[in-house]
Amino acid sequence: MILTDNTIPAPLVAVIGGVNVDIGGMPFAPPVPKDSNPGQVQISLGGVGRNIAHNLRLLDLDVCFLTALGDDFFADRILRSCTELGIDTSRALMVPGGASPVYLFISDCDGDMVIAVSDMRICEQISPDYLASHAEALNRASLVVVDTNVPAESLLWLADHCRVPIFADPVSTKKAEKLRPILGKLHTLKPNLLEAELLSGIRITDDASLRQAAEVLLDSGLQRVFISQGDRGVLAADHHEMLEVPSFPAAAKNATGAGDAFMAALCRANLDGFSLQKAAVYATAAAAIAVESSETINPALSCSAVRQRLDLFTQ
């Protein structure tokens, strides 16, 4: 069923992408294949789109999340969590008989992954027709964030019909390829080094090739690019300047959610009219806060927390 009620208030930021129910198992001893292993199982919510939406709410932004869910109990948990966070899911696509996305993984007793299965087939339902039914709401948003769990044809539709700035997260090298045809219609791209290599065609081996890759991406028509270098920081570039921002000191516990917090902070910075440099520094500070939690999303992230981090390390 697709919602078409245009009376729903327009969001400040519309996020289009995937959500996962993460189910992880870790045995207490070295795993024995083809047998039942005593251990612990944890369930949490993830997915790039959902994580960015969560971080946007922590940064005091109103969010509408467009995604696809099944009619199972996982969907109920996802919707309930989003409601508690203040994320608007009234436009989410509910697929009768569909299975909500699940990421199932088994690690060894040291926490290293042994095997995983990712079932995100339902994301194929985030179709051009679905997006078209919400075109008016998307174009009333201040900006749109999309991840590449969305089908390629839907990304093409978005690039051709969305009149507000589009921020894109490549997610992975395999999925990043979907962005190649629409790079020139994006406002902001946030790749890591491997994704930047793929999309630019430049093998990044040093600072010179890193900057060359950024130039190639900007030549497509892209307005801003922020290339993550992991703990080395980020290269930020637009059509006027190019600069490197080092990572902020952080007591890192879990780096998984750094990129999602970085993207959310870029959105906040854009809406606040920040310069390229100020946006890069602001987002880098948010990423530092994110990694200081054992959870993927650090509940301590806030606009005031980012400002305090900036004041502490930029004096």
Q: pLDDT higher for 118 or 151?
A: 151
Of 189 and 6, the structure prediction assigns the larger pLDDT to 189
HSE toward the beta carbon, residue 187, CA cutoff 13 A: 18
Query: Does 4 score more than 70 pLDDT?
Result: no
Helix (H, G, I), strand (E, B) or coil at 69: strand
Counting Cα atoms < 13 Å in the Cβ hemisphere of 111 gives 1
Nearest 5°: the CA angle 296, 302, 306 is: 100
Q: How confident is the model at residue 314 (pLDDT cuts 50, 70, 90)?
A: low
Cα-flanking dihedrals φ and ψ of residue 79, to 5°? Answer: -65, -40
- pLDDT higher than 50, residue 3: no
pLDDT tens, residue by residue, 30-84: 999 989 999 999 888 989 999 999 999 999 999 999 999 999 999 999 999 999 9
Domains in the chain: how many in total? 1
List all residues 6 or more positions away from 157 whose beta carbon is below 8 Å from its beta carbon.
128, 131, 132
Tell me, yes or no, whether 35 lies in a domain: no
Rounded percentage of the chain residues whose pLDDT exceeds 90: 79
pLDDT confidence of residue 52:
97
Look at residue 203 and tell me if it is in a domain: yes
Q: Is residue 139 part of a domain?
A: yes
Instruction: Pick the closest to residue 189 from 145, 142, 151 (CA basis).
Output: 145
Q: Would you state the pLDDT for residue 2?
A: 40
Residue 234 has pLDDT above 70, yes or no: yes
Domain residues for the domain of 177 are 13-18+46-98+123-313
The tokens for 113 are 């992954």
φ and ψ at residue 294, rounded to 5 degrees: -75, -15
Could you tell me if 164 and 136 are in contact, meaning their C-beta atoms sit under 8 angstroms apart?
Answer: no
Please say if the pLDDT value at position 285 is more than 60.
yes
Q: Considering the domain boundaries, does residue 105 fall inside one?
A: no
**pLDDT value at residue 130:** 97
Lowest-confidence pick of 50-64, 84-98, 127-141, 240-254: 240-254
Quickly state the pLDDT bin for 315 (edges 50, 70, 90).
low
As a whole number, the mean pLDDT across the chain is 92
Q: With respect to residue 302, please indicate whether it lies within any of the assigned structural domains.
A: yes
Q: 122 near 95, Cβ under 8 Å?
A: yes
How far, in Å, CA of 193 to CA of 212, rounded?
12
Instruction: Determine the pLDDT at residue 118.
Output: 86
Measure the CA–CA gap between 221 and 68, rounded to whole angstroms. Answer: 30
Residue 282 lies in a domain: yes
pLDDT at position 301 over 80: yes
CA atoms within 13 A on the CB side of 27: 14
Greatest mean pLDDT among 24-38, 154-168, 290-304: 154-168
Let me know if residue 175 belongs to a domain.
yes
Q: How many residues are present in the chain?
A: 315
pLDDT for position 253: 82
Nearest to 153 by CA among 122, 171, 130, 186: 130
3-state DSSP percent of the chain in helix, strand and coil, to 5: 40, 20, 40
In this structure, is residue 210 part of a structural domain?
A: yes
- Alpha carbons within 13 A on the beta-carbon side of 136: 8
> What CATH number is attached to the domain comprising 60?
3.40.1190.20
Of 192, 248, 269, the C-alpha closest to 225 is 192
